[in-house]
A and B are shown apart, each in its own frame.
Chain A
């Protein structure tokens, strides 16, 4: 899937700061960050629509999202905790209207040591 690209694909951190990047080439208005822990479904962290943050789920303050333009999404992580080890997926949808299909990137796997 090259329509939503994420970097880096793998990240090993020991309480350092790092940013995850995402870019979508689908012309979608809505972009999302999801966290998927092992053997669990994806959990929504943040939702942007037309560059505006419209959903901010209960996420530790060490995760800070940024949407510099409608096709790009960043997730800044500071002082990671072992519970943050997971795969972080960027996703997009045409709009935030009900029933829109989510398109996921391939994910960034974060390992906290």
Chain B
């Protein structure tokens, strides 16, 4: 079955640091890849998604490239702010419909002021 792996359970940075969150996936389909962000007390919300291999998604200063060769979809941001503190979920939707999205375990990002 499909799987998504996020190796980092927690990341702690200072403001203006560079962010890199690791995500790799496994699937036999041609998936759509997502990053969802969950702020405290809220439901997850879409940060960005990419439907085509080798394309890049960009949103609010975050970016992720759908790398079919390395089956990765790492999240990056050049300069983080305290307001970026949240849990980030990498997720995969298979290419056929009526199927559930597979979420990674999540990475909790804490930004120190």
Contacts and interface: CB of A to CB of B under 8 A. Distances in A.
Interface of A: 1, 4, 39-42, 44, 47, 49, 54-55, 57, 89, 91, 95-107
Contacts, number: 62
B43 interface: yes
A91 B36 CA distance: 13
A99 B32 contact: yes
B42 A41 contact: no
Interface residues of B, number: 26
B100 A41 contact: no
A41 B32 contact: no
Contacts of B89: 41
B103 A41 contact: yes
30 contacts: A1-B42, A1-B45, A40-B106, A41-B105, A42-B103, A44-B100, A44-B101, A47-B98, A49-B98, A55-B98, A55-B100, A57-B100, A89-B44, A91-B43, A96-B98, A98-B31, A98-B97, A98-B99, A99-B49, A100-B93, A101-B49, A102-B36, A102-B44, A102-B46, A102-B101, A104-B42, A104-B43, A104-B44, A107-B42, A107-B43
Contacts of A96: 97-98
Chain B contact residues: helix, strand, loop or mixed:
loop
B42 A98 contact: no
A101 B45 CA distance: 9
Interface in B11-49: 31-32, 34, 36, 41-46, 49
Give the dominant DSSP class at A's interface: loop
Contacts of A98: 31-32, 93-97, 99
B64 to A, nearest CB: 15
Nearest to B42: A106
A89 B94 CA distance: 22
Given A1-B43, A104-B43, A95 B103 contact: no
Nearest to B45: A104
